[in-house]
Amino acid sequence: HLGARLAAGGRGDLDRVLRRLERLGGETGRKPHIGRQADGAAVVVVRTNSVDAVTGLDVALAHRVDAAIDEAAGGMAAPGPSA
């Protein structure tokens, strides 16, 4: 799976980001799985459950997730593997 753990400076910031990620479903027909942790952070996972794998569509969605996080939080996304 492709995943990330998100934590924001304030709960309102993270909630804003998560609302933006939820809207991806309406825009793309697919949205990431989002879970909240006890410490207030969120875990965002992208995978295709029906094939128990990561597909090309998942990779495309992960890029949309990164862009949505940047848009909603002004750079809260973690750097990619080349950084």
pLDDT for res 83: 42
> pLDDT for 11-52, tens place per residue?
678 888 889 999 998 988 998 999 988 888 888 999 888 888
The stretch 50-66 carries a mean pLDDT of: 89
Do strands 42-46 and 2-6 pair parallel, antiparallel, or not at all (unpaired)?
antiparallel
CB atoms within 10 A of CB 29: 9
Residue 70 pLDDT more than 50? yes
Instruction: Check: pTM over 0.75? Answer yes or no.
Output: no
Query: CA 65, 79, 16, 24: dihedral to nearest 10 degrees?
Result: 0
- CA atoms within a 13 Å half-sphere pointing along the CA-CB vector of 79: 3
Residue 77 pLDDT more than 50? no
What are the tokens at 53? 């794998």
